[in-house]
């Protein structure tokens, strides 16, 4: 029996075959909003030739996050990334190989490894902001996008790329980025100029990285970066225990960049926007915390000092709750499963459905997060701790495929904001912007900010 008996979720009616696709391709936010208002936590939307079933909120989330890949699979829904990441890695390989590839990456993010990246985070941030004047008008999103690319180049792609090849590699990565449009999710090989450019850029990146990897492997020096980890790593239980090929390393580095770069720079931006807009609730407590940290740890932004910054941590988490950059996380149902909504309705999701959870929607549920539209970092502090419920806060996903880069991301964002809190004041010149739901990784719409240099102590 392929399917369990039972009631199917309500179908969000009235969307013609192609209508669902257009609504989805234009950014699925409105579609979600209408579907949730009409049907509640579980509903199905026909999108072109697929059925997409949305599960909204912690009550209906456990199976989605907990189930193994033989039940809730990623490859079928994320394989649109294959032309970008490349062959032989991540969603182009079976789950056993992918698990080993992610294990290799996890080993690049142990506590000791993270400690060794912190000086690079700090150095890039200090050098970047040293170039700002005494006062000026900027947009956080543009600035942090550049800075995070520099830091990612240094800590992930390696010293050679950061020091000698940065402009060229950044341009090519930008070409890959532009080749990922909402249409690519359904038709990753559609013959459009954005995809042609993507393929050209991907090929050139392969050539550049192959050279860098060969030189790194031939040299006797070992660097502290993720590239080194991939150069040294070996499969354990698959592929005869061999080392990664140059093409696999290139693919994994691109995958890691895609997972971590925009998500981090966007969260850094929202954190700044909300801190600048909430002086009493967020900015001033974060400044006071910096003073206390300096008194305790000195001025060096060590791993320990960054880890001690609880106020800043909560400010970041609250920015991520308000605006998770990934609107949807998705799986493919390889087996049917049952969900029960908070009001006791039971549905069977059939095999073959694309199943989606939405961090943005989950984070706006008023029975989980009080006054969800309000920026309120104290909701994460005792005694409230509103996140302390399974699958309530899912900005980094949850369960089996929770974000591997979470600690890396917090350290990097804290390093950037520590440098800024210690050296600048900010004033928003526009109202707090809305989110731009039409891009793939969702960030703030443009917002002008005035900075003024000052010394904290
Ligand atoms: C997975 C968000 C930073 C690497 C995820 C998932 C989310 C997420 C929601 C789950 C996807 C799913 O369930 O389908 C974020 C956010 C970040 C961030 C909001 C920054 C604020 C990073 C960084 C890296 C990274 C910096 C790497 C350096 C990964 C990887 C996975 C992942 C490899 C896949 C894990 C798996 O499938 O087992 N991330 N991420 N992320 N993230 Fe992040």
Residue with CA closest to ligand 1 atom 5? 403
DSSP string, 117-148: HHHHHHHHHHHHHHTS-SEEEE-HHHHHHHHH
Distance, in Å, from the CA atom of 11 to the CA atom of 21, rounded to the nearest integer, reads 15
pLDDT tens digits, residue range 310-363? 999 999 999 999 999 998 999 999 999 999 999 999 999 999 999 999 999 999
Pocket mutation for ligand 1, best pick of 141, 398, 403 (most atoms within 8 Å of C-beta): 403
Residue whose entry in the numeric block shows the structure tokens 């720079």? 265
pLDDT tens digits, residue range 160-207? 999 999 999 999 999 999 999 878 888 999 999 999 999 999 999 999
So what's the ipTM on this one?
0.99
Distance, in Å, from the CA atom of 221 to the CA atom of 218, rounded to the nearest integer, reads 9
Dmax (CA) for the chain in angstroms is 70
| pTM summary value | 0.96
Helix, strand or coil for residue 274?
Answer: helix
Backbone angles phi, psi at 51, to 5 degrees: -110, 125
Phi-psi region of 341 (alpha: psi -120 to 50; beta: other; left: phi over 0): beta
Closest by Cα among 455, 421, 438 to 283: 421
Q: Could you tell me which residues are beta bridge partners of residue 332?
A: 73, 354
| Ligand 1 center to 94 CA (angstroms) | 19
| Ligand 1 center to 401 CA (angstroms) | 8
Ligand 1 atom at shortest distance from the alpha carbon of 331: 14
Pocket mutation for ligand 1, best pick of 105, 405, 414, 442 (most atoms within 8 Å of C-beta): 405
Helix, strand or coil for residue 426?
Answer: strand
Which helix (H) or strand (E) is 104 found in, with range? helix 95-107
Backbone angles phi, psi at 425, to 5 degrees: -115, 155
Per-residue pLDDT tens listing for the chain (457 residues): 456 777 999 988 666 555 556 666 666 777 888 889 999 999 998 877 788 999 999 999 999 999 999 999 999 999 999 999 999 999 999 999 999 999 999 999 999 999 999 999 999 999 999 999 999 999 999 999 999 999 999 999 999 999 999 999 999 999 999 999 878 888 999 999 999 999 999 999 999 999 999 999 999 888 999 999 999 999 999 999 999 999 999 999 999 999 999 999 999 999 999 999 999 999 999 999 999 999 999 999 999 999 999 999 999 999 999 999 998 999 999 999 999 999 999 999 999 999 999 999 999 999 999 999 999 999 999 999 998 999 999 999 999 999 999 999 999 999 999 999 999 999 999 999 999 987 888 999 999 999 999 988 6
Alpha-helical (H) ranges within 278-330 are 284-297, 303-307, 310-322
Structure tokens at 457: 């102590």
End-to-end CA distance of the chain: 70
CB 358 within 8 A of CB 352: no
Question: Could you tell me where the beta strands, DSSP code E, fall in 174-324?
Answer: none
């Amino acid at each position: 029996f392929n399917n369990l008996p039972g009631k199917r979720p309500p179908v969000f009616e009235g969307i013609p075959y192609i209508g669902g696709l257009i609504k989805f391709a234009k950014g699925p936010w409105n579609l979600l909003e209408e579907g949730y208002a009409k049907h509640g936590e579980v509903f199905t939307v026909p999108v072109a030739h697929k059925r997409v079933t949305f599960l909204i909120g912690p009550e209906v989330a456990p199976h989605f996050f907990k189930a193994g890949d033989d039940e809730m699979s990623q490859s079928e829904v994320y394989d649109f990334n294959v032309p970008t990441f490349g062959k032989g890695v991540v969603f182009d390989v079976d789950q056993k190989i992918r698990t080993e590839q992610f294990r290799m990456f996890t080993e690049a993010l142990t506590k000791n490894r993270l400690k060794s990246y912190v000086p690079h985070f700090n150095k890039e941030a200090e050098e970047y902001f040293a170039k700002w004047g005494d006062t000026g008008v900027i947009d956080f999103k543009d600035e942090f996008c550049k800075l995070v690319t520099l830091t990612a180049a240094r800590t992930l792609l390696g010293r050679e790329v950061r020091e000698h090849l940065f402009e060229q590699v950044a341009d090519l990565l930008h070409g890959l980025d532009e080749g990922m449009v909402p249409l690519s999710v359904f038709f990753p090989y559609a013959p459009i100029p954005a995809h042609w450019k993507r393929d050209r850029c991907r090929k050139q990146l392969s050539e550049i990285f192959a050279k860098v990897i060969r030189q790194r492997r031939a040299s006797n020096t070992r660097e502290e970066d993720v590239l080194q980890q991939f150069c040294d790593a070996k499969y354990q239980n698959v592929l005869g225990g061999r080392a990664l090929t140059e093409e696999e390393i290139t693919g994994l580095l691109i995958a890691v960049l895609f997972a971590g770069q925009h998500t981090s720079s966007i969260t850094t931006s929202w954190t700044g926007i909300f801190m600048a807009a909430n002086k009493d609730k967020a900015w001033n407590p974060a400044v006071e915390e910096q003073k206390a940290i300096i008194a305790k740890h000195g001025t060096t932004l060590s791993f320990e000092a960054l880890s001690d910054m609880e106020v800043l941590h909560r400010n970041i988490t609250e920015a991520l709750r308000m605006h998770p950059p990934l609107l949807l996380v998705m799986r493919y149902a390889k087996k049917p499963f049952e969900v029960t909504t908070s009001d006791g309705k039971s549905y069977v999701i059939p095999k073959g459905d694309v199943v989606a959870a939405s961090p943005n929607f989950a984070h706006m549920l008023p029975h989980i997060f009080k006054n969800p539209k309000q920026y309120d970092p104290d909701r994460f502090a005792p005694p409230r701790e509103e996140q302390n419920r399974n699958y309530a806060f899912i900005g980094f996903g949850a369960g089996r495929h929770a974000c591997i880069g979470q600690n890396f991301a917090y350290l990097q964002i804290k390093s950037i904001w520590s440098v800024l809190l210690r050296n600048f004041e900010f004033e928003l010149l526009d109202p707090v912007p809305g989110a731009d739901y039409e891009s793939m990784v969702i960030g703030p719409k443009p917002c002008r900010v005035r900075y003024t240099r000052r010394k904290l102590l």
